């Protein structure tokens, strides 16, 4: 099965839904308006550990317009096997500050908030533990790391090789907790239809998965749950699965016996919608005098909550990135009195490659070898972890193209010598990688008497342009103009589809679209029958029969920074990303994804950190006044290009995911550039002036 090329794929087709979005007619979850709607406000725990002994609801219920106050003492009972964050109000136990301890439902948002302030909650507070450290007595080895990788790996004899290496680097790198902050906060409208039917207008990354989880939680037939999400204002992983906020809204609607709206505030997102775990990473690299790696060790320490285990796969990129006979990786986890971490753009590879690529830079300096040359030297022919052949691997091409375009050959490797007035200048680079996987999806294709085509698939467009690229894929597969095609997505009543996550959306959905279009073409080979025609396709068997290959996207990031010698302010002057990510379906949307990821990587390097107050037991900078992200003034010259790579062995499209690889490696490239500019190595992100100013001469 392969796609017929007629020119739609690879063209810069403008976004199908662009006019709806710029005119404001595109409706997002909270903007639907069912009849007789009520409003829910979430009440959050004011302690980090303990128990709710009681809630005095009398004053709140006496307020005109208040419909219900729900807490553990009167909450609807969920399915018995509901666990973790989704077991909303099923117990009086408090596992972290900010946990949902009550829900107020009223006929207006203002009334619900007023009633919230009238509640009196009696807590039995207990001492809490919220600090991640590498010597924490509660550290343990989880059975697996997200989603199902081995926790530890060991090949060769790492200790012996490291001990005998001519050149070694042994350093610890730290990343802080970071919170997803999509433009559209999480929002849900729940509408019960009797006792066994439910409509959800919900901001999510996959309506099929939301349907399954909600149905199981409320013991409903999945066919009786209808999830509608045609437009989603970003997710970055935080909307990849239903959050406790969704369960709370559905519960509120059931109790109130009215449709209920709930929008998570920006502040509440820092407690209830996931975040990237902080990490402590010990890197040990050993090389010969020629720079060839002989030993790689990567030890990771990270956190989860006491209610649910989530172990980020931070060291997995290290396992396959460079040729080395002796390697050891490990993950250790501690359960703390904090919210549960979850997916955030490029989980695992993002923090892990920051540490690895920073250590590679330090090794290059120790060996007296150019950082680009060191990576080219250690590029493997086969996957070092499992010995599999790569479906394609063009990291070297990215490194070489990026070096030429960036002017890397003019770089003086000596740190701290390039100055212009009050500014020190430096350049740095790093490699990027991300898996190129796909998951089963289904699709329906129809053609009308008039020769117009409709494609139906429960894909999600979270701002990436999914409708547009699926239209292009269908146009080529059907060999018709894209203007004759309508793609319907964002609805759980459509054929089941992989969620928009793991850089698997387009490849998973696109394979289903190619398959269903091929079947439809067979049905109408001679002519369109009266009444039109319809075809169905499921990629489940196709995915299961994929050959055993190592499938990854690759990239190289090049960064120039300037550092103020007086204030230690760091600014990114130039950023270039070069990527090998298979066939590019739409250059416009692809460039947006690459640059968006790079921008987040710059934010990770210089701005983003969730600051924990150990006494308070929570992250305290829970708004954009305190949690800093890049703005237009922080992003000066940024460019993303790609290698012409049509990987026919990775999927019928020849494409790989692009949503996450842009962030991978960017933070390391910035950190390496800061070292080159100043001679100061910062190994704990973000690189803020307070960490630099006292060390600048």
302 is catalytic: no
In degrees, rounded to 5, the angle at the alpha carbon of residue 32 between the alpha carbons of residues 26 and 36 is 160
- Three-state DSSP at 566 gives coil
Q: How far is CA 272 from CA 80, 131, 140, 249, 305, in A?
A: 22, 19, 25, 13, 12
Q: Per DSSP, what are the bridge partners of residue 50?
A: 94, 125
Could you give the CA distance from residue 659 to residue 499 in angstroms, rounded to a whole number?
13
Would you give the DSSP letter of residue 219?
T
Q: Give kind and range of the element (H or E) at residue 382.
A: none
Query: Residue 640 — left, alpha, or beta (φ > 0 → left; ψ -120 to 50 → alpha)?
Result: beta
Cα end-to-end distance, the chain, whole Å = 63
Residue 487 bridge partners (DSSP): 455
Q: Which residue, among 30, 102, 114, 121, has the nearest Cα to 66 in the 3D structure?
A: 114
Positions of E strands within 136-263? 153-155, 167-175, 187-193, 197-202, 225-228, 260-263
Single out the residue of 252, 229, 319, 326 nearest to residue 287, CA to CA: 326
- Main-chain phi, psi angles of 613, to 5 degrees: -100, 110
| Residue 158: its H or E element | helix 158-164
- Cα 75 to chain centroid, rounded: 32
- Inter-residue contact 453 to 480 (CB < 8 Å): yes
CA dist 140 and 199 (Å) reads 41
Whole-angstrom distance, CA of residue 574 vs CA of residue 636? 7
Which among 381, 636, 660, 684 is annotated as catalytic? 660
Q: Which of 55, 41, 298, 23 is nearest to 169 (CA)?
A: 298
**Cα separation of 521 and 461, whole Å?**
26
Tokens 């404001």 locate to 24
CA distance 273 to 592: 25
Residue 189 dihedral angles phi and psi, to the nearest 5°: -120, 125
Distance CA 418, CA 405 (A): 20
Which of 366, 507, 508 is closest to 440 using CA atoms?
Answer: 508
Cis status of the peptide bond prior to 686, with omega within 30 of 0: yes
Q: Answer whether 353's CB lies under 8 Å from 316's CB.
A: no
The whole-angstrom separation of Cα 658 and Cα 592 is 10
Peptide bond into 482 cis (omega under 30): no
Q: Are 434 and 503 in contact (CB under 8 A)?
A: yes
User: Rounded to an integer, what is the distance from CA 235 to the centroid of its chain?
Assistant: 7
CA 467 – CA 505 distance, rounded (Å) = 11
Angle at 433 between CA 431 and CA 438, to 5 degrees: 170
- Burial string for 218-242 (b: 16+ CB within 10 Å, else e) reads bebeeebbbbbbbbbbbbbbbbbbb
The residues annotated with a catalytic role in the active site are 660
């Amino acid at each position: 099965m392969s796609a017929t090329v007629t020119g739609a794929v690879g063209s810069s087709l403008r976004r199908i839904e662009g006019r709806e979005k710029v005119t404001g007619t595109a409706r997002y979850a909270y903007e639907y308006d069912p009849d007789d709607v009520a409003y829910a406000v979430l009440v959050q725990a004011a302690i980090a550990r303990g128990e709710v002994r009681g809630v005095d609801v009398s004053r709140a219920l006496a307020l005109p317009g208040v419909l219900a106050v729900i807490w553990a003492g009167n909450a609807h009972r969920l399915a018995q096997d509901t666990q973790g964050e989704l077991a909303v109000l099923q117990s009086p136990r408090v596992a972290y500050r900010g946990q949902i301890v009550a829900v107020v439902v009223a006929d207006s948002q203002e009334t619900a908030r007023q009633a919230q302030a009238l509640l009196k909650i009696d807590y039995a507070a207990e001492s809490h533990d919220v600090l991640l450290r590498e010597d924490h007595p509660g550290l343990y080895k989880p059975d697996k790391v997200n989603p199902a990788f081995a926790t530890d790996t060991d090949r060769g004899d790492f200790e012996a090789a490291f001990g005998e290496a001519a050149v070694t680097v042994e350093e610890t790198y730290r990343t802080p907790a970071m919170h997803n902050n999509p433009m559209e906060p999480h929002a849900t409208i729940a509408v019960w239809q009797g006792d066994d039917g439910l409509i959800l207008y919900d901001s999510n990354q996959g309506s099929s998965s939301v349907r399954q989880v909600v149905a199981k939680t409320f013991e409903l037939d999945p066919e009786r749950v209808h999830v509608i999400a045609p437009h989603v204002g970003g997710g970055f992983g935080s909307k990849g699965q239903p959050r406790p906020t969704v369960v709370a809204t559905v519960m509120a609607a059931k109790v109130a016996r009215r449709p209920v709206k709930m929008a998570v505030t920006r502040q509440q997102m820092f407690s209830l919608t996931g975040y990237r775990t902080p990490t402590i990473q010990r890197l040990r690299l050993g090389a010969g005098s020629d720079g060839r790696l002989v030993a790689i060790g990567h030890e990771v320490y990270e956190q989860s909550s006491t209610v649910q285990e989530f172990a980020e796969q931070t060291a997995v990129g290290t396992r396959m990135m460079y040729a080395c006979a002796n390697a050891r990786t490990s993950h250790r986890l501690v359960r703390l009195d904090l919210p549960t971490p979850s997916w955030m753009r490029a989980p695992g590879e993002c923090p892990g490659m920051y540490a690895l690529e920073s250590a590679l830079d330090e090794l290059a300096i120790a060996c007296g070898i150019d950082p680009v040359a060191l990576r080219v030297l250690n590029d493997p022919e086969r996957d070092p972890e499992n010995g599999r052949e790569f479906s394609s691997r063009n990291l070297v091409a990215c490194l070489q193209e990026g070096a030429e375009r960036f002017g890397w050959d003019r770089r003086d490797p000596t740190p701290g010598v390039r100055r212009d007035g009050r500014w020190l200048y430096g350049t740095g680079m790093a490699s990027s990688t991300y898996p190129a996987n796909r998951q089963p999806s289904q699709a329906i294709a129809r053609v009308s008497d008039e020769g117009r085509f409709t494609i139906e698939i429960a894909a999600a467009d979270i701002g990436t342009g999914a409708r547009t690229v699926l239209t292009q894929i269908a146009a080529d597969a059907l060999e018709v103009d894209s203007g004759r095609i309508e793609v319907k997505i964002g609805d759980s009543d459509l054929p089941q589809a992989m969620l928009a996550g793991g850089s698997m959306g387009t490849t998973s959905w696109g394979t289903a679209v190619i398959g269903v279009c091929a079947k439809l073409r067979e049905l109408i080979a001679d002519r369109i029958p009266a009444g039109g025609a319809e075809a169905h396709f499921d990629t489940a068997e196709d995915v299961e029969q994929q050959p055993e290959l190592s499938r990854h996207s690759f990239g190289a990031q090049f960064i120039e920074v300037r550092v103020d010698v007086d204030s230690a302010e760091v600014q990114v002057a130039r950023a270039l990303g070069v990527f090998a990510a298979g066939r590019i379906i739409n250059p416009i949307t692809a460039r947006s994804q690459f640059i968006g990821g790079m921008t987040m990587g710059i934010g990770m390097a210089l701005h983003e950190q969730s600051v924990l107050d150990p006494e308070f037991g929570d992250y305290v900078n829970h708004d954009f006044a305190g949690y800093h992200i890049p703005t237009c003034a922080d992003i000066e010259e940024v460019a993303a290009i790609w290698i012409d790579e049509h990987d026919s062995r990775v999927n019928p499209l020849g494409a790989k995911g692009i949503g996450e690889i842009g962030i991978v490696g960017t933070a390391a490239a910035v950190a390496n550039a800061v070292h080159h500019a100043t001679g100061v190595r910062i190994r704990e992100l973000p690189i803020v002036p307070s960490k630099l100013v006292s060390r600048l001469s």
